[in-house]
Amino acid sequence: MPVGLWVLRVASVLFVVAVLAQALFAGLFVTGDVGFLDMHSLNAGVIAFAAAACFVASLIMRAPRRIVHVGLVASLMTVAQIAVGYSRIIPLHIPLGVAMFALGIRLAQLAFSYKGERK
C-alpha cells in the first residue's frame, strides 16, 4: 500500500474518532467537570491535524477529486468549528460538530474504498 494511502486512511479514522471524542469531552464539561474544556480544546488541535493530513495526503497521492474535496471541506469546517467554538456560538457549534462527524464517516469510507489507482 502506498504511504500516502496509508496516511489518508489513518488520518481519516483519527478524524472520526477525535470528532466523536469532542462530544464526550463537551458533555463531561457541561456536567460540571471544567477540566474537560481543556481536553476539548486540545482535541480540536488533533482534529485540525487529522483533517490537514487527509487533505495533504490526498493531494500528494493525486487521489480522485472527490477525496481531495472532502479533505478540503473537512479542513475548512475544522477551522470554522474552532473559530465558532472559541467565539462561544453554541447554536452553530453543536450542529457543525455533527456535520463534521458525518463528513468524517464519508472521508473514511472514501479512503478505505480507494485502492490507489489514479483517476
Tens of pLDDT, residue by residue over 17-52, are 999 999 999 999 999 888 899 999 999 999 999 999
Residue 116 has a pLDDT of 75
Sequence-ordered list of residues with C-beta below 8 angstroms from that of 63, at least 6 positions apart, any chain: 4, 8, 57, 114
The answer to whether residue 57 is domain-embedded is: yes
Instruction: For residue 18, give its domain range.
Output: 3-113
Q: What's the domain count of the chain?
A: 1
Contact 36, 29 (CB under 8 A): yes
Share of the chain above pLDDT 90, in %: 89
DSSP code of 116? S
Tens of pLDDT, residue by residue over 56-73, are 999 999 999 999 999 999
* In the predicted structure, residue 1 carries a pLDDT above the cut 80: no
The answer to whether residue 118 is domain-embedded is: no
The answer to whether residue 71 is domain-embedded is: yes
Residue 117 has a pLDDT of 65
Residue 11 has a pLDDT of 98
The answer to whether residue 12 is domain-embedded is: yes
The answer to whether residue 105 is domain-embedded is: yes
The answer to whether residue 119 is domain-embedded is: no
Residue 2 has a pLDDT of 85
